[in-house]
A and B are shown apart, each in its own frame.
Chain A
């Protein structure tokens, strides 16, 4: 039996129900309330101009040639300590690709007095995180700690870098991990495409050293590592970077007290001249049997990190494929339905740079997608971009620039690049001003200069797609996932 109380509604509740019902009935008889006017159109931005103010990078030079660079980031509880060495993948000898990377991985794997385990325990007992990253022209060893552990972190970094030893035992472990990572990376179609693109664009050039696969790792010996270390890990070829809530001058002094005794002649690293731009139609197909969709890259060479076209080209790349609003995405995905995504990227090195389009394409749409990509690149070279399009690209770039400096990691990565490549203030916090000054003429000039030449096309996909979907292409170079040329297919099925 239902409790009596539940059968009765309190009087005030009954009244409320009547009121609500009445109001509901009333509202049904009235026209919908007019929308507030401010909701109809997007609001204008606040009038104040956006200013990107980064802490200045203070540079100090020690008598031994070592550069110390500091940047104060108030409010940060983390301090990032980096050793930048001006030698990267491009500096590995032609017969020892991957040596720069293996050498960096060996830092922290033991000194004369301390084992790898001891050093690793020590770093982690500081709460620290240590990592090594090798780029085309430089290497960055990064130790991040809480600010309270900075002094000890400087000491540890000194011990493990200046006192590094390279035992066969530790090298075997590093080789094993590197082998596995490189082997696994071949399952990523974008990694395969990137390697293939670089190997074509940089054939015969030192930068091709960055395109190695796991097979070469086993040939690297402890002697090779020691030689590379001896040649490039020198104070005159290195810099110590510290960023965090620090007193730059005081920290530089402490760094000096630890690294001032580091000796060694200056290294004469030669920046290689850029190779010639690709100027003929080349389509490379890398057979990846597990592909679910076709990955398409198309790219060519551009200016280096200090090139005068740097900012105009940024705008150009943005117009081509910076976001989902850009030409490639709107054409290949939204209009034609060929692709899941299509974007444009660029990476600049010391000597030159590379731009590339990357797209994930339905296998049956590969050929038309490639044609559309090449068409969009050529169109920018031949027809100037509209002023509104240029202004929108600039607006995006100016607005997004501060994002890369938000995290400690982002800030320190950019600072390392800035110091390693000796970039000017325009690539520190003057980027927005430089971008605002980019003119339509400069964008057009950059387009003609870099988009007139025929890009190299790389397609990653299943072998059976060659016959099924790519028969219309004039000539296709077919490679395996290790980068080895297997055959060249011609239109009509000829080899």
Chain B
């Protein structure tokens, strides 16, 4: 093949959508057992685009995710990803500071942004006849964000001020970041998204971070709602195709976790009369299928009033006033995190003991099929509930993209979770629920 022909083939390849598997109901639509269809393709500049049509309401959600989460912060740069997220509202070549918000709200839309370990996500839901407005706004800040020392200083001051107000108003807030630093001892995961070190960030840090990570080849654009896919492709091409790509993006750094010799324990004092604790279990390195076990275990232990831990602490033993928990899934590690307010200081130890007793049961006895069915159904219901809105679908797709999943395989996830059986749960529990994976942080009145 001569050079001209090779160049032509290469150009054709990057212009073509990523081929949909056989069985598509429409050209480019990815078939799956997801309760919705979507199309996925990539622009020449590397921007990945996902479209999904839902004509039930005259709304559209536009979500743009950048692989620019806290994992990208270097030591000493804690808070940089969150600062950058907020600077994205400080204006671009054609949009004045904070006018992005104004444009969206003017037409009745809602918007927000969030920063996690793996990404910064920006999204807006607005009337579907205003799709072009959202694309214009998102493309303008992707192409020509204006970063000035004044904007950095002002935004940083506001963020730290508001964080200080939240800390003052919520006596438990800082216990969460303290607990995370114990649970994830690696520097990459163990620091909060915002903290006092944000004030030490330099303008150069911000500019470098933006130039490196806020580029189309490190981003995904997801559009879900009442759209005409053909016209939407045209609009996406119009607004995004000419944005130049950045340099090649290095793979995110891999946190290194070390198993402790025993339980990690800590205690802090808080400005409140309540006593309680955080308890967490770390799971690493995760093997294939482990994530599905964890999702069911979360429901067995924590979801619903009859779940094991809630029934035991809140209904039977009455050692706690409040108990909540979550499954925190991150690249290469996951954790079940519990937060408990005991009925009084004495009940802290009793509540912890009761939780460990329930965990021990998981290790030694198989979960009954009846209990498992309940967890499965609850999981299934929450799954469909999450996917019932445009934003829910968009976030589902963007999350999956940054988790390194193939979007056309997502449809199999629900079945994979539902098919987890008692033996798999018992084996998982025996392997991971060990003292060396457990972290406890107690808190009480000063």
Contact = CB atoms under 8 A, between A and B. Distances in A.
Contact of B136 (A39, A46, A124, A324): A39
A43 B238 CA distance: 12
Given A43-B133, A50-B129, A146-B377, A125 B94 contact: no
Contact of B388 (A41, A325, A397, A407): A407
Interface in B363-393: 370, 373-374, 376-378, 380-381, 384-385, 388-390
B129 A48 contact: yes
Interface stretch (A70-78, A203-211, A350-358, A470-478): A70-78
A51 B305 CA distance: 41
Contacts of B137: 42
B166 to A, nearest CB: 9
Nearest to B383: A77
Nearest to A41: B94
A144 B388 CA distance: 14
Contacts of A290: 169
A77 B35 contact: yes
Nearest to A180: B321
Contact of B129 (A39, A40, A45, A144): A45
Contacts of A76: 388
Contact of A406 (B103, B165, B168, B389): B389
Nearest to A40: B94
A45 B132 contact: yes
A42 B133 contact: yes
A146 B35 contact: no
Contacts of B109: 399-400
Interface in B116-168: 125-133, 136-137, 139-140, 143, 162, 165, 168
A396 B93 contact: no
B93 A399 contact: no
B321 A403 contact: no
B108 interface: yes
A405 B57 contact: yes
Contacts of B59: 402-403, 406
B181 interface: no
A290 B131 CA distance: 45
Given A42-B136, A399-B109, A399-B130, A406 B57 contact: yes
Contact of B106 (A48, A325, A340, A401): A325
Nearest to A334: B98
A408 B390 contact: no
Given A50-B128, A408-B385, A408-B388, A127 B102 contact: no
Contacts of A127: 374, 376-378, 380-381
B101 interface: yes
Interface residues of B, number: 55
B203 to A, nearest CB: 22
Nearest to B384: A77
Contacts of A128: 381
Interface string B222-243: 0000000000000000110010
A445 to B, nearest CB: 24
B58 interface: yes
Interface string B1-40: 0000000000000000000000000000000000100000
B108 A401 contact: yes
Interface in B287-316: 304-306
A376 interface: no
B105 interface: yes
Interface string B242-258: 10000000000000000
Contact of A45 (B93, B105, B127, B381): B127
A253 interface: no
Interface centre among A50, A52, A146, A292 (most CB of B within 10 A): A50
Contacts of A405: 57
B107 interface: yes
Nearest to B110: A403
Interface of A: 35-36, 38-48, 50-52, 73-78, 117, 120-121, 124-129, 144-146, 149, 180, 290, 292-293, 323-325, 340, 392, 395-403, 405-408
Instruction: Please give me the 4 A-B residue pairs with the lowest Cβ-Cβ distance, nearest first.
Output: A399-B108, A127-B377, A400-B108, A292-B168
Given A45-B127, A325-B105, 12 more contacts: A35-B93, A39-B93, A41-B94, A42-B136, A43-B132, A45-B130, A117-B306, A125-B377, A292-B165, A392-B106, A399-B109, A407-B385
